[in-house]
């Protein structure tokens, strides 16, 4: 039980923290839809270590807030493929992306929604 509450506090703290960071880095955090909020929490757990909390990129992976990944160039199917099968290094030099475990078929669209809403708010499409 205590652990449950700690994890809730952790998520709230992470969201507040990332909002601060986003402001500092000039990234617009839009008013996320419910699906995108769920996706954002998942993104922080499963993707942020490489792609950054709000998809701005990090030491181990590229930004998804980048024109390469706009819907016309990387449609939602590319996200499904990357999550389910991984992705060979081709656009950058961070190495390959391994498949991501523990993301359900219901959760993948939420993660995509999070990235799309961030992309849209930041003028990627």
Binding region for ligand HEC (CB under 6 A): 46-47, 49-51, 60-62, 74, 78-79, 82-83, 87, 89-92, 94-95, 97, 100, 103, 111
CB of 119: closest distance to ligand HEC in angstroms? 11
State how far the Cα of 68 lies from the Cα of 29, in Å rounded to an integer. Answer: 20
Most distant CA atoms of the chain, gap in Å? 45
State how far the Cα of 94 lies from the Cα of 37, in Å rounded to an integer. Answer: 27
CB of 5: closest distance to ligand HEC in angstroms? 26
Task: Spell out the residues 6+ positions from residue 71 whose beta carbon is closer than 8 angstroms to its own.
Answer: 116, 119, 125
Q: Nearer to ligand HEC by C-beta: 27 or 74?
A: 74
CB of 48: closest distance to ligand HEC in angstroms? 8
CB of 77: closest distance to ligand HEC in angstroms? 9
Q: Nearer to ligand HEC by C-beta: 29 or 43?
A: 43
Measured between alpha carbons, how far is residue 97 from residues 24, 63, 82 in Å?
A: 28, 13, 7
Q: Nearer to ligand HEC by C-beta: 81 or 121?
A: 81
Q: Nearer to ligand HEC by C-beta: 22 or 74?
A: 74
Residue 6 burial by Cβ neighbours in a 10 Å radius (0-12, 13-18, 19+): exposed
């Amino acid at each position: 039980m205590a652990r449950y509450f700690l994890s809730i506090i952790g998520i709230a703290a992470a969201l507040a923290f990332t909002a601060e960071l986003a402001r500092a880095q000039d990234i617009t955090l839009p008013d996320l839809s419910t699906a995108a909020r769920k996706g954002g929490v998942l993104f922080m757990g499963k993707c942020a270590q490489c792609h950054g909390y709000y998809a701005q990129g990090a030491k181990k992976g590229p930004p998804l807030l980048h024109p390469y990944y706009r819907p016309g160039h990387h449609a939602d199917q590319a996200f499904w493929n990357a999550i389910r099968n991984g992705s060979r290094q081709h656009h950058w030099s961070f190495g390959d992306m391994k498949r991501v475990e523990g993301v359900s078929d219901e959760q993948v669209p939420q993660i995509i929604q999070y990235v799309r809403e961030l992309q849209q708010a930041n003028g990627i499409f």
